[in-house]
Every structure is written in structure tokens, then in C-alpha cells.
């Protein structure tokens, strides 16, 4: 009777009603014993005038459904109700028949079967995430036959809710290939600032934050010099049509590498002015190893992951070049450690505090001294992460920024007018003032990062259950937040696919959801180098537009959905001299 009354007022499905009934019975059963139910039932029957003999005709007490259930109370659906590809759910039904052995071969073969028909290679996904959201909605579940289900989301409110529940030590999915390499070939318990988690991650981050930004401020003059070297290099390698045909991305990569060399090591790498002869100097070999290690990591993390089963050529390449990176970075760190030791020994008689700022201080030096100093091995790991992530994300961001400026001439005219007012003689020591004087440039950077964030998806593994779109997601589930899909959704931005910097200016800006575009992440694990990246992008853009007008006359350039967003084809941008 009670359920029929509820059905009249609530628009629930039949399945929903059955779930409500079951939950209500379970809830009451936990609170009352069987004898209490019988006594309550008898008391109710006596209150309506039934005699004891009549009461005996009802041997079973009815369970009362709480009246708190109203149309305002949201229904929380179980995890199994989250929509997703049915083929994966069918395969998961055979989970109980899998052998207890559960070897890497079994897992690898199943992973391969799931990926066949979905990915051809690391660059061209046949069915990207946006297509999944179009078919299944804002919450999509990938059912794994061997456990470890994945949930995909792209709605700003849902992304915000995930970040709100990430806890003090957020956990995200690691790069499996890099984690495997460090565990098997370096015997490292802890990862760097990108791959570590928990208290060790927090300790590393606290040690690195302040020295990193101080190093950037100290080397602004050197970074400006690298930017000017880049414009000179572009001037020299253009063809007769003022165009860079096929290696612009690589030149931007060299620029980013040279800048990070100053910030991390206080050294001038000068890759922009050097022909890469890998066997002749550490700097060239470090650049070559970084480039090759990045390619190997992207291939290992995308497509078919045979490297988990056997040593594939891609895995062997990753090991080779990560070994090289680790050895070369370790060499720099040991040299810095010896130098710091000598300086501290000489200063000890005059300076009581050993954390005193050393002469020619660098980020590595700063991590070697002080109360929270790190070991040489941990520093090498942190620096390796910063090179891998920093160089690649800044290169990606700068590449797409130049592409968007070259493609949208209206925006470029406004931007050049702003830069021209700032003047060519920049006060590099006060970069914050330059950024304040170039609001349209900052809007262009923000808009380009919205269209193509350098890392297209962010991940979290939450310590608690979470309800997303009325679906209960168990703790420990890998949640993939497709931030690029969120930033390109028409419901979140007007003309979302159009490069329109004015949307970020104070006079024209609308109230957009704060989590519709988060290219640098959010919260405790927000990108350490956001200010560094924005400063470098601003300075190089100013130097380029002071000398060149950018043009692009080819088809649209998309971005890969791999570990790092990269252009899907060559950046054939023309750099026309300004008269």
C-alpha cells in the first residue's frame, strides 16, 4: 500500500522503486529487531480496535517505510548503473572465470583486446573522449574485466566536486612506464614531484616551490637573451617564402630546453645555437635523451601496451634514454653537491646559518641546503620530472599560441598594437609590470590554453566515495577529467571552438564556470610552473611580434590526445619582417 502511494507522487522507474523498497527494508532491519517489530505491529493493531484473537490472524509484522522519502530527496544510483560501452560490461561478466594466477600475460592480453579497434597509434584515436560523452552522457564508465574500473567526466561542476574531495595528499594516476622504469632500473621508492604522492610528494613540493620561483626571477635576463636568440634563429632558417616548413616545433623545443637549463641548473645550454652532435658534449646528449625519452613515454602510455608483457623496442628505448637522462642529471647534481660542500666549508667560520644564499645559487643548490634538504638521488629524480614535464608542456603551449595568433589576424593586430605601446626596451627585471601592461596578451595566452591545454586530461583517485550526477562512485576508482572536452563544450563557452581572447578581458568577460578551463590543474597538485610558463610565453611572444608578422595559410591543426598535446601536423607559419 505504501509503495503504491509513493508511486502516485514520485516519477520513479520500476527499477528505481524496487531499489527504494529494498533500501527501506534494509534500513529498518538494521534499526529494529524482529521482536520489536512484532510489538510495534500489535500496538498499532490494538489502537484501531482489533482484539487479541484478531491480531493473531496477522503473524507477520509489516515493515514501515520511512515517510522522509519525498520528491525532494535525490536518488543515488549504484555504480553499476553508470553508462558506458556495453562490450566491456559483457566481458566483465567473465571476470569470475579468470584464473587466480592473474599473470601479466593475462592482463596484457585483455588490455590489448580492449584497445583493438579503439586506438591505431599514439597520435590518432579513432574514437576520442568527446564521442563517448556524446553517446553516454557526462559520466562514462569503462568496466575492466580484471578490476580497476575507470570513470570519465567532462562537466565543470563534476570536476569541481572531484577536486573538493581530493584530500590533503591528492593521488593521481602515474605514468605507468616511468614508474615501472624507476622501480625496476633505479630501485627508487619515491618518484618526482609529478609522479610521487602522499607525504613524500608534499615534502618535495615544499622544498621546491620557493627556490624554483626565485631561480626564475634571477635568470630573467638570461631567459630574455634566449628569446632573442630564438627570433634570430627563425630569421636565419626561414625559406624564401618567410616560412618555417617542418621543424618549428623542434626549434620551440630547443628554446624551452635552454630556458629550463637556466632555471634548473643556472647553465647556458645554447641548443638554439648548437648543431646536435650527440657524442661530443653532455648538453647535446641531454637534449637528445630528453627528446627521445619523451617520444618513448608517449608511445608507451598510448595505444597497445605490449611493453607490460615483454621488452618491446619502445620500452628498450625508454630505458636507454631515461638511463642517459638520469646519469647526466645525476652528474650535474653531484657537481653542485661538491661545490656547495666547498662553499659551506669556507663560509662556516663567518656564517652561522648554512642555508645562507650561496654565490651563484641555483635550484639544485637550494635543494641541497637548509633544514629540508634533499638527497642527491631525490634531487635528480625531481629535476628529471621537471625537464620532462616542463619542457614538453611549455613547448606545446607556445606552439599552439603562435598557431592561433597566426591564424586569427584580427586578434594579432590588436595584440601587436598593445605590444607596440609597451616598447622594445623592456624592463625585464620587473616582469610582473610587463604582464600588467599587456592584458590582451594574457587573454591570448589564456584563450590558447583553453582551446588546447598542454595536458588534455587530468586524473584523480579519491580516498572517499563520491556522488557524481547521482551515481555513486566508489573510493579508489580512477576518475579521468577530460578538461579539454569541458573547455570546448558550447554549453560552457559561447563559440567554444573559436579563438576569441576578448572573452577574458574585464570589459567583455562573462561569468564562466571556474572549472570549465583549468589547463594547469587546480588545488594542492596544481602545476608548480604555471607562473613560469606564463612568463616565458609572454616574453617570447613579445619578442616575436616585435620583429615579425605571423601568417598561416594551410588547414586547421588539431592536437593529439596523448600524454602531452602536440600538433597533428607541421606548423608552417610564416614569419614576415615588420617594416
Closest CA to 240 of 574, 579, 578: 574
Overall average pLDDT of the 380-385 stretch: 88
Angle at 88 between CA 147 and CA 105, to 5 degrees: 55
Higher pLDDT, 210 or 285: 285
CB neighbours of residue 481 within 10 Å: 27
pLDDT digits (tens, 9 = 90+) for 110-169: 334 333 433 444 444 434 677 788 888 889 887 765 556 788 899 999 999 988 887 765
pLDDT class of 571 with cuts at 50, 70, 90: very high
- Give the H or E element holding residue 329: helix 313-347
Binding residues for heme: 527
Q: What is 178-577's CATH number, 3.50.50.60, 1.20.58.1910, 1.10.630.10, 3.40.50.300?
A: 1.10.630.10
Distance CA 198, CA 220 (A): 33
Q: Give pLDDT, residue 31.
A: 41
- Predicted confidence (pLDDT) at residue 93 exceeds the cutoff of 90: no
- pTM, two decimal places: 0.77
Show the cell assigned to 10.
514520485
Q: Where in the chain is the domain with CATH 1.10.630.10?
A: 178-577
- Predicted confidence (pLDDT) at residue 457 exceeds the cutoff of 80: yes
Q: Which residues contact 554 (CB under 8 A, 6 or more apart)?
A: 572
DSSP string over 514-569: TTS--TT--GGG--TTHHHHHHHHHHHHHHHHHHEEEEE-S----B--SSS--BSS
Q: At what angle do helices 198-218 and 376-386 cross, to 10 degrees?
A: 70
Closest CA to 340 of 330, 352, 348: 348
Binding residues: 527
pLDDT class of 549 with cuts at 50, 70, 90: very high
Secondary structure, 3-state, 363-415: HHHHHHCCCCCCCHHHHHHHHHHHHHHHHHHHHHHHHHHHHHHHHCHHHHHHH
- Predicted confidence (pLDDT) at residue 29 exceeds the cutoff of 80: no
Amino acid at each position: 500500500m505504501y509503495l503504491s502511494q509513493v508511486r502516485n507522487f514520485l516519477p520513479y522507474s520500476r527499477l528505481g522503486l524496487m531499489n527504494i523498497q529494498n533500501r527501506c527494508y534494509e534500513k529498518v532491519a538494521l534499526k529494529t529487531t524482529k521482536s520489536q517489530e512484532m510489538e510495534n505491529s500489535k500496538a498499532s493493531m490494538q489502537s484501531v480496535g482489533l482484539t487479541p484473537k484478531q491480531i493473531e490472524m496477522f503473524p507477520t509484522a509489516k515493515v514501515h517505510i520511512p515517510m522522509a522519502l519525498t520528491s525532494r530527496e535525490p536518488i543515488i544510483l549504484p555504480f553499476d548503473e553508470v553508462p558506458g560501452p556495453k562490450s566491456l560490461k559483457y566481458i566483465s561478466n567473465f571476470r569470475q572465470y579468470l584464473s587466480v594466477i592473474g599473470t601479466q600475460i593475462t592482463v596484457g592480453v585483455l588490455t590489448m583486446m580492449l584497445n583493438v579497434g579503439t586506438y591505431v597509434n599514439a597520435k590518432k584515436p579513432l574514437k576520442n573522449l568527446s564521442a563517448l560523452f556524446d553517446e553516454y552522457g557526462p559520466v562514462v564508465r569503462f568496466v575492466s574485466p580484471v578490476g580497476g574500473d575507470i570513470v570519465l567526466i567532462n562537466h565543470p561542476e563534476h570536476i569541481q566536486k572531484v577536486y573538493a574531495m581530493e584530500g590533503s595528499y591528492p593521488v593521481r594516476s602515474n605514468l605507468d612506464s616511468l614508474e615501472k622504469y624507476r622501480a625496476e632500473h633505479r630501485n627508487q621508492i619515491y618518484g618526482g614531484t609529478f609522479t610521487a604522492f602522499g607525504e613524500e610528494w608534499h615534502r618535495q613540493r615544499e622544498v621546491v616551490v620557493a627556490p624554483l620561483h626565485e631561480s626564475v626571477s634571477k635568470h630573467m635576463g638570461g631567459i630574455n637573451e634566449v628569446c632573442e636568440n630564438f627570433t634570430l634563429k627563425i630569421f636565419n632558417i626561414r625559406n624564401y617564402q618567410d616560412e618555417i616548413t617542418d621543424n618549428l616545433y623542434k626549434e620551440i623545443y630547443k628554446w624551452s630546453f635552454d630556458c629550463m637549463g637556466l632555471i634548473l641548473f643556472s647553465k647556458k645550454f645554447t641548443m638554439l645555437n648548437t648543431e646536435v652532435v650527440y657524442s661530443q658534449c653532455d648538453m647535446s646528449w641531454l637534449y637528445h635523451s630528453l627528446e627521445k625519452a619523451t617520444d618513448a613515454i608517449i608511445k608507451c602510455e598510448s595505444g597497445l601496451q605490449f611493453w607490460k608483457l615483454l621488452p618491446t623496442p619502445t620500452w628498450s628505448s625508454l630505458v636507454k634514454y631515461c638511463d642517459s637522462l638520469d646519469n647526466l642529471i645525476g652528474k650535474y647534481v653531484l657537481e653542485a653537491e661538491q661545490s656547495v660542500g666547498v662553499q659551506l666549508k669556507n663560509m662556516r667560520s663567518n656564517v652561522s646559518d648554512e642555508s645562507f644564499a650561496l654565490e651563484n645559487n641555483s635550484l639544485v643548490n637550494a635543494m641541497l641546503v637548509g633544514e629540508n634538504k634533499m638527497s642527491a638521488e631525490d634531487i635528480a629524480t625531481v629535476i628529471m620530472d621537471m625537464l620532462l614535464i616542463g619542457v614538453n608542456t611549455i613547448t606545446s603551449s607556445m606552439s599552439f599560441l603562435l598557431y592561433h595568433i597566426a591564424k586569427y589576424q584580427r586578434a594579432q593586430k590588436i595584440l601587436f598594437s598593445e605590444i607596440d605601446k609597451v616598447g622594445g626596451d623592456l624592463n625585464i627585471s620587473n616582469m610582473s609590470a610587463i604582464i600588467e601592461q599587456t592584458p590582451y596578451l594574457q587573454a591570448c595566452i589564456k584563450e590558447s590554453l583553453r582551446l588546447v591545454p598542454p595536458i588534455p586530461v587530468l586524473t584523480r583517485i579519491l580516498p572517499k566515495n563520491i556522488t557524481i550526477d547521482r551515481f555513486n562512485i566508489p573510493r579508489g576508482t580512477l576518475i579521468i577529467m577530460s578538461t579539454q572536452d569541458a573547455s570546448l563544450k558550447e554549453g560552457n563557452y559561447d563559440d567554444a571552438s573559436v579563438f576569441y581572447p576578448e572573452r577574458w578581458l574585464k570589459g567583455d568577460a562573462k561569468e564562466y564556470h571556474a572549472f570549465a578551463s583549468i589547463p594547469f590543474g587546480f588545488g594542492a597538485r596544481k602545476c608548480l610552473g604555471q607562473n613560469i610558463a606564463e612568463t616565458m610565453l609572454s616574453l617570447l611572444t613579445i619578442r616575436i611580434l616585435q620583429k615579425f608578422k605571423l601568417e598561416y595559410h594551410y588547414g586547421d591543426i588539431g592536437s593529439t590526445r596523448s600524454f602531452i598535446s602536440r600538433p597533428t601536423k607541421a606548423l608552417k607559419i610564416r614569419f614576415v619582417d615588420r617594416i
